[in-house]
Structure 1
Amino acid sequence: MSFRTTSTDYVEDVSPGSGALPPRAWYASSDAKSLSLNGTWRFRLSPTADAEDDSFAAQGYDAGDWAEVAVPGHWVLQGDGAFGAPIYTNHLYPFPVDPPRVPTENPTGDHLRVFDLPADWSDEWPALSERGAVLRFDGVESCARVWLNGTDIGEFKGSRLPHEFAVGHLLKPAGNVLAVRVHQWSAGSYLEDQDQWWLPGIFRDVTLLHRPAGSAADFFVHASYDHVEGLGTLRVDSDVDGRVTVPELDIDVATGEPVTVPVEPWTAETPRLYDGVLATSGERVPLRIGFRTVVLEDGLIKVNGRAVLFKGVNRHEWHPERGRALDLRTMREDVLLMKRHNLNAVRTSHYPPHPAFLDLCDEYGLWVIDECDLETHGFTEQGWRNNPVDDDRWTPALLDRAARMVERDKNHPSVVMWSLGNEAGTGRGLTAMAEWIRGRDSSRLVHYEGDWNCRDTDVYSRMYADHAEVERIGRGLDGGTHKRRHLPFIQCEYGHAMGNGPGGLADYQRIFEAHERLQGGFVWEWIDHGIKHPELGYAYGGDFGEELHDGNFVCDGLIFPDRTPSPGLVEYKKVIEPVRIEGDGADGTVRVTNAYDFADLSALAFAWAYQADGETVGTGALRVPALAPGESAEVKLPEPPETGRSGQTLWTVRALLAEETAWGPKDHVVAWAQLPVGERQPVSVTASATPVPGEGLITLGPAAFDARTGALRSLGDVGVTGLRLDVWRAPTDNDDGASWQDDTRWGVLWRTHGLHRMRHRLDAVERDGDALTVRTRVAPAAREVGLRTVYRWTSDGTRLRLTVSVTPEGDWTVPLPRLGIRFGLARADRVEWYGGGPGEAYPDTRSASVLGRWESSVDELQTPYVRPQENGARADVRWARLGGLRIEGDPEFWFSARRWTTEQLDAARHLTDLTPGDTVWVNLDHGQQGIGSQSCGPGPLPRYFLRAEPAEFSFVFSPDA
């Protein structure tokens, strides 16, 4: 067979492709054989779309000298850099914007796989070739042309969407040659400008499906629920006639025929599925049926007659080594983590996920906004000029993408909304998509954030609206079109989880719950897209030499790249917990409220613990009725145990899983609260020792000070280095803000004002009776502002008390990053403290901080953000022990310790830049600035500002025997 060079015009054609079968539902059955073509493929990379001819697709072609790649996979993540590199941009196209043209430099990967049909297919071979088989690609970025046994069967675009080809007539029992040419750039790339890595390749499954004669190509399960009567109505439409059976419901009806029976409904909290079968003359297709009805009613999104509150997350597909090539185990791990952290909803940003992920959402229970594979964000750089979604030439491609999403996923009860895409402006193409979707499936709502006038959508959706605006929207004071004012509101993105943060989630949640119109939101986003790297730990934008990139903006998830939950996810779990536990511990009564939308509390057990000074002195079960959604009950606590102590006491009440569930073990904590009883006793040190001058030193009780500078040198046999006032922290991503933010990017302003290079002037060292007083002024160069700081030391002979008084001077126009003292210890490893834990907390991220006694190593105190930044502070610390010292605070303080300085932390760009030193640097902070989420959203609320105001705070140091 002779081959000619195939034209590459299809690469820049705005059409969705040619040769593919119409889209249909995704399913598998035991009656229809399938052959996975995943595995090792031969691979050749060319620099342009037309660098090689098509002879590789011919039978007998010798590809023995080609490289190999894994499919599913991205070639740029394989070959140790030999196949190019990933590119990360948030919204800028990494090629000139000249739609639909793409660069000549267009990396093109030829993939080759030779396969035999399984032995048990051989007996059916003649019939198989006649009746047909389907070759299915579940995801290829960004454009592919396919040959089977030398025949060109078509090409397609739409990277995160399925494409199938009829190939039964081309197959043979052995030696089949499948050739796929994949182009990194195509006209389709203009429709796929999502905030993620650009990663070419065949990254989802490739499967050969046997299609028996008489089998259904497509079917649509309609399963509604009447919440008034408690009845479900099932109708299964099929392109081939058959029967539908659901044994548990005694259903046996013809396709297309509705039947109504009593059922238990499906919800994200109670994901009840019924197993059924669609039987045609050629195949039995398993069905997993969830009965539920989604409507827009009374200006609210209602499911089964009740308004829902989304406690959601945006989820990109990601694995730190395989990119968007996820396996089932990884997808299940995501869903289980979500359920265990109280999430109830997922927006599939910004494309349909692997279809198996939706099976898991059906099974375990998550509301899903299924988003189309569409984003044209880069056109914002030219004021949306030439935007494809407002260009009729591109409308067939947009409709194709909408259809491939809807038809593939239409049978999933978890999907409650179809989203037209993300950040694509507005235009006629989006209207056409919305109209087509409504015509095909009226049982779900339509979402699109960019349509603020709500012409094409059923919900008013926004990104990163600040707290004040969300409050106005909740109260109906936001204005807008008449239609919009009568629609429910969601934040499809909020709480930008980049680095340390996000802050302010609890404040958002209080607003969501206060106004019926506000139906929750979806935190951005699920996972940091760090790429595992041998030298850098995890790489982000710019680490591969990209011409354009957006740095670590791709690392903005609630879990780290290895799927370890971040403090942000722990905080979010607490903020959205589905049981509210409130009360006054002193009066022995607790109020329990069921905040679920559908489930009662029968699956939960409640337990109490009584603590004194952080130690548990009593535990027991607490009887709470199985409250219905929205119900509350006052529950009496038992008599508190005798502690024999005069310290701080409190109740801790927890809601636990009473039994193991599909997603969590018995005793998994769902919700908790701490209710104070007795207050902490203030720290008291009676000054009885006096400062004694000596040879270059002044001694005071157990401490020695430099006689000239007044600097603390030792306490007992513990050496102390560099104790002084500290106001600087290594700015978080949220401190630094985003380039388009306004003039409240605190990290930038702090540097502008020189807070990272404060100078300490010594004014006086005074021995005054029983006190040693050191007077200083702390100020940045080039500025007239400063902090007049006085250190006053006293001792009772065994303990040492430091009182720090700070008086701002000048016109301070910015808040402080932190306010406290920093010092170094030569030997410190284990840390014990009584205060908030076990993880870090900051003023607006402290909901999940549990008051108790905690223990850790210094290394374990660190939070491993992909880009190093301020981390690891523990809140509300009463006392801490480390390095031979015991430290008590008056009042409580923020505590952190690390084996590098703040300046070294600030300079690091990756965790591998941080080298532990011989000194452990300890921060004892009177105050910290809030975190916010200004890496993309709003900064911290004003009440979390650490304003430069007069302050006084004390610490008591003593040798820790």
Structure 2
Amino acid sequence: MSFRHANDYVEDVSPGSGALPPRAWYAGSDARSLSLKGSWRFRLSPTADAEDDSFARTDYDAADWADISVPGHWVLQGHGAPIYTNHLYPFPVDPPRVPTENPTGDHLRFFDLPADWPAGGETVLRFDGVESCARIWLNGTELGEFKGSRLPHEFAAGRLLQPRGNVLAVRVHQWSAGSYLEDQDQWWLPGIFRDVTLLHRPVGSVPDFFVHASYDHLTGTGTLRVDSGVPGRVTVPDLGIDVAAGEPVTVPAEPWTAETPRLYDGVLAAEGERVPLRIGFRTVELSDGLIKVNGRPLLFKGVNRHEWHPGRGRALDLETMREDVLLMKRHNINAVRTSHYPPHPAFLDLCDEYGLWVIDECDLETHGFTEQGWRDNPVDDDRWTPALLDRAARMVERDKNHPSVVVWSLGNEAGTGRGLTAMAKWIRGRDASRLIHYEGDHNCRDTDLYSRMYAGHAEVERIGRGLDGGPRGRRELPFVLCEYAHAMGNGPGGLADYQRLFERHGRLQGGFVWEWIDHGIAHPELGYAYGGDFGEELHDGNFVCDGLLFPDRQPSPGLLEFKKVIEPVSVTGDAADGTVRVTNKYDFAGLSALAFTWSYEVEGEPVESGTLAVPALAPGESAEVKLPAVPAGAPAGESHWTIRAVLASDTAWAPRNHVVAWGQIPVSERRVPYVAATARPAPGDGAISLGPAVFDARTGALRTVGEVPVTGLRLDVWRATTDNDDGAAWQGDPRHGLLWRSLGLHRMRHRVDAVEVGEDALTVRTRVAPAARELGLSAVYRWTSDGDRLRLTVSTCPEGEWTVPLPRLGIRFGLPAADRVHWYGGGPGEAYPDTRQAASVGRWRSTVDGMQTPYVRPQENGARIDVRWAELGGLRIEGDPAFFLTARRWTTEQLDAAAHRTDLVPGAAAGGGSTAGVWVNLDHGQHGIGSQSCGPAPLPRYRLKAEPAEFSFVFSTTPGTGES
């Protein structure tokens, strides 16, 4: 094949040439296959200008080429660099043209056929994923080329194969016309990143097959029909099925659901091949304005999942995919939207096996055209429609036999146009057994459900109540938030408030948190790199790190919060009547797989525990369950019942006693700390003594409590802004981080107005205010003591016109050293006003280092909520009321300035040049978190208003001189 210009085929809007028709993917059959993954020879060229294909000759000498792993991305293997943009195209927008400066990777794979490779039949060469386009030669002969990065392509190869010395040559360009259709929010990572396989196709093998397996919930029967392109028989031993391919059969069967993923093993046997079948009977329908499966409505408790590994990018192995699915199941997630492309097909096998609802999304996004008002958008240009249809067909044909796939999605953020309508029409003609989704179709012309992104709580409630307006057809459809609760950095906040709406209004059928995992790239100097760390001209910074998992797949506090919010069993009650109300929130499963336990705790310490008899409630049912009597001889103090629902036995996704849900019911209130003001302040040589404490006589600053030095205790209103504080530039609401900085809240100045020594108190009057502003806060510190303990009462009052909430309100101080931290209150992890559902009251232990949350971009983190008392660094601190506790080895200012965690240095300098080993914040209040990095700001009730406040802390020393 010859071309006028090197870019001719790269810039061709057609999907390619030479590829065989798409067909179903399956994990294995008795036909032979040969994986071609492993080490390939590789050469990178900076442009696509020179169309020299001599490297594809069988006698080409590639001895001086580099080695590269396939599957893999060459930019993650030392050749070139990754690029991250959210939606901007990193090349000029001139469709279908791409730059001449187009990094081009030439790949060579040398292989022999196994000695027993079958004779006869055909052999196909299959590519499961190549970004962004590929041109293929086998033994010097061109097979064809394709675009469509996350989709499979097969080529007839048998006539060219030889027993030994085969040469497979693949040219991959970073940019192509197909790149205009693949503008997803992710790293641009060229390469052969999924499997390459030779598949023998015996005479009489199965060219394609379609498993139709519906379920009738009224009769409890499943109807199976397996269509095949050749004669064959279908057998399912567990159901006694043995029928000809294409013949329907109805039998009693158990249904498949994400909660009860019953699969039946079967075989499609043709003359030349036996294909394994994994059959799940289920029926998806739009009925009564709701998405229903097997006659029951669904509530999606889902996540958006990009494929990601911090070292291998989108080149995932089976165990990494399995880890994702197991983590989802263990955190009560029941659904996945495959944003924004079909995943590796093995991932869908895992969803079938373990049980997850799937919205399978086409590899289509043209988001960058929003910069020009969607002018020249390919989805509304008939020249591009064949490429769109090719992508739709390759997704549907590949994935049509997965019971987990209940919705097809046309793509994401691609505007609107005739191409989308053509895709929807083709899909309905091929597979009417599933629904169709596309968020950008707000009139729902082509879709079966109304879908939105990041709608705020108030709007979602209006939609749930049917008060949202819009065309009548849309108002009669179910509503799904295909993206919500942007999980960037500390957050997302407001999950529980969304879930209450989902459960209150039937039309609201849940949503999918954005997203599953931070896309940090492992970096030897930065820890994890994000946009801009590779010198990109255009980038969107750490917006690529917006997941519920950290890059190493450790759960973030956001995932633990989500698990609690969406737990499938609720436990509520009033200890006064001695009962709890248990509600089954599953859509399909009863509670027979769960066991229930109780624990009676006083001051956070378990006193007695046992099992609780709970009926095997059907979905949606509730029961009042009697609690045992309060244990005899239980000590006095604040007490709680904690009820847990755990797995009664091992499952495929978690072991016995894995906690699925829990509830905590208060019995008695806490005792508020009291300090009688009996000690008198004693002025001395430049110091004032009061009980166990010594103060600076001039400034009133606390110097020591007992033998523990204290540095820089003062009112604090600033926090290192979170990604959600800083917000996104396109958000309609004011971005709190920007407003806070514009007011100067990050550089508050402290003025001492008076140091007053009274009969029983030391009072320090101050004003705290930012430079260049007239507003501020008065802060009065009143110190009293009973001789052994020290009480600080802080009274604050805003001065001037405050139009923004405060980031935080409390005190901070430095300690020379601290390691272990012991506290009674909310834990074990961090929590803020709108991210507190996962925090249970108890006694918790950690280290200062263990209290840090390792967000990829450092920011406010690690606060423990509702702390009654805490011990660290030789001090015991009690709060009235309960407080937020934060302890770290650097100042807030250092945390605020850091771009990566490697920028954080223990022992940061404090104001005035003094140093401390650990900085402690005791906060009366914290501003909520929200998800304004791409969603709504914190709800009004979670905003920390600038208003008069008073709060107290009691300080005493613990045994030892420097540690608790």
TM-score w.r.t. length of structure 1: 0.98
Residue 68 of structure 2 corresponds to residue 69 of structure 1: yes
2:525 to 527, 535, 544: 535
CA distance in 1, matches of 2:81, 2:872: 45
Corresponding letter in the other structure for 2:8: D
2:111 matched to which residue of 1? 115
2:927 matched to which residue of 1? 929
Tell me the CA shift for residue 30 of structure 1: 3.8
Corresponding letter in the other structure for 2:93: V
Residue 86 of structure 2 corresponds to residue 90 of structure 1: yes
2:302 matched to which residue of 1? 312
2:496 matched to which residue of 1? 506
CA distance in 2, matches of 1:336, 1:150: 45
**Deviations 1:913-961 (Å, cap 9, x if unpaired)?**
0011152000000000000000000010000000000000000000111
2:962 matched to which residue of 1? none
Tell me the CA shift for residue 491 of structure 1: 0.1
CA distance in 2, matches of 1:92, 1:297: 40
CA contact (8 A) 1:216 1:239 kept: yes
Residue 231 of structure 2 corresponds to residue 233 of structure 1: no
Tell me the CA shift for residue 533 of structure 1: 0.3
**Deviations 1:744-763 (Å, cap 9, x if unpaired)?**
20000000011000000100
Quote the RMSD (CA, aligned, Å). 1.0
Residue aligned with 1:9, SS: coil
Corresponding letter in the other structure for 1:217: P
The equivalences for 1:592-741 within 5 A come to 592-741=582-731
Corresponding letter in the other structure for 2:266: G
1:943 matched to which residue of 2? 941
1:361 to 336, 347, 351: 351
2:911 matched to which residue of 1? none
Tell me the CA shift for residue 48 of structure 1: 1.1
Residue aligned with 2:710, SS: strand
The equivalences for 1:848-863 within 5 A come to 848-863=838-853
Tell me the CA shift for residue 586 of structure 1: 2.9
The equivalences for 1:232-381 within 5 A come to 232-381=222-371
2:448 matched to which residue of 1? 458
Residue 798 of structure 2 corresponds to residue 808 of structure 1: yes
Tell me the CA shift for residue 28 of structure 1: 3.8
1:575 matched to which residue of 2? 565
CA distance in 2, matches of 1:628, 1:399: 43
1:14 matched to which residue of 2? 13
Corresponding letter in the other structure for 2:17: S
**Deviations 1:235-280 (Å, cap 9, x if unpaired)?**
0000111000000000000111000000000000000000000000
Residue aligned with 1:50, SS: coil
CA contact (8 A) 1:4 1:54 kept: no
Tell me the CA shift for residue 585 of structure 1: 2.0
1:888 matched to which residue of 2? 878
2:912 matched to which residue of 1? none
Residue 419 of structure 2 corresponds to residue 429 of structure 1: yes
Runs of 4+ aligned structure 1 residues displaced above 3 Å come to 2-8
1:585 to 575, 578, 581: 575
Tell me the CA shift for residue 742 of structure 1: 2.7
CA distance in 1, matches of 2:29, 2:480: 41
CA contact (8 A) 1:15 1:396 kept: yes
Residue aligned with 1:339, SS: helix
Residue 774 of structure 2 corresponds to residue 775 of structure 1: no
CA contact (8 A) 1:3 1:54 kept: no
**Deviations 1:618-671 (Å, cap 9, x if unpaired)?**
000000010000000000010011354321001000000000000011000000
The equivalences for 1:181-220 within 5 A come to 181-220=171-210
**Deviations 1:559-579 (Å, cap 9, x if unpaired)?**
000000000000000000000
CA contact (8 A) 2:583 2:620 kept: yes
**Deviations 1:151-198 (Å, cap 9, x if unpaired)?**
000000000000000101110101000000000000000000000000
**Deviations 1:454-479 (Å, cap 9, x if unpaired)?**
00000000000000000000000001
CA contact (8 A) 1:28 1:285 kept: no
Corresponding letter in the other structure for 2:637: G
Corresponding letter in the other structure for 1:43: F
2:470 matched to which residue of 1? 480
Residue aligned with 1:370, SS: strand
CA distance in 2, matches of 1:139, 1:646: 64
**Deviations 1:386-424 (Å, cap 9, x if unpaired)?**
000000000000000000000000000000000000000
2:437 matched to which residue of 1? 447
Change (3 A) 1:105 1:4: closer
Corresponding letter in the other structure for 2:76: L
Corresponding letter in the other structure for 1:48: T
CA distance in 2, matches of 1:184, 1:8: 12
Tell me the CA shift for residue 7 of structure 1: 4.7
The equivalences for 1:864-875 within 5 A come to 864-875=854-865
CA contact (8 A) 1:6 1:54 kept: no
2:913 matched to which residue of 1? none
Tell me the CA shift for residue 850 of structure 1: 1.0
Residue aligned with 2:103, SS: strand
CA distance in 1, matches of 2:3, 2:790: 88
Residue aligned with 1:173, SS: coil
Residue 948 of structure 2 corresponds to residue 958 of structure 1: no
CA distance in 2, matches of 1:366, 1:868: 33
716-725 or 918-927: which moved more? 918-927
CA contact (8 A) 2:690 2:784 kept: yes
CA distance in 2, matches of 1:642, 1:726: 45
CA contact (8 A) 2:851 2:887 kept: yes
CA distance in 2, matches of 1:887, 1:541: 42
CA contact (8 A) 1:718 1:884 kept: yes
1:546 matched to which residue of 2? 536
CA distance in 1, matches of 2:650, 2:633: 34
CA distance in 1, matches of 2:367, 2:632: 64
CA distance in 2, matches of 1:826, 1:318: 41
CA distance in 1, matches of 2:274, 2:7: 42
Residue aligned with 1:169, SS: helix
Corresponding letter in the other structure for 2:653: W
CA distance in 1, matches of 2:939, 2:652: 39
CA contact (8 A) 1:612 1:643 kept: no
CA distance in 1, matches of 2:520, 2:203: 47
**Deviations 1:599-626 (Å, cap 9, x if unpaired)?**
0000000000000000000000000010
Change (3 A) 1:6 1:779: closer
> Which runs of 5 or more structure 2 residues have no equivalent in the other structure?
908-915, 960-964
CA distance in 2, matches of 1:881, 1:204: 52
Residue aligned with 2:315, SS: coil
1:392 to 382, 388, 404: 382
**Deviations 1:354-377 (Å, cap 9, x if unpaired)?**
000000000000000000000000
CA contact (8 A) 1:836 1:852 kept: yes
Corresponding letter in the other structure for 1:446: I
53-62 or 555-564: which moved more? 53-62
Residue 835 of structure 2 corresponds to residue 841 of structure 1: no
2:97 matched to which residue of 1? 101
CA distance in 1, matches of 2:824, 2:733: 38
> Which runs of 5 or more structure 1 residues have no equivalent in the other structure?
none
CA distance in 1, matches of 2:729, 2:112: 55
Corresponding letter in the other structure for 1:42: R
CA distance in 2, matches of 1:743, 1:472: 19
Change (3 A) 1:260 1:722: same
CA contact (8 A) 1:454 1:483 kept: yes
Residue aligned with 1:31, SS: coil
CA distance in 1, matches of 2:29, 2:142: 30
CA distance in 1, matches of 2:381, 2:4: 31
Tell me the CA shift for residue 709 of structure 1: 0.3
CA contact (8 A) 1:589 1:637 kept: yes
Residue aligned with 2:461, SS: helix
Corresponding letter in the other structure for 1:776: T
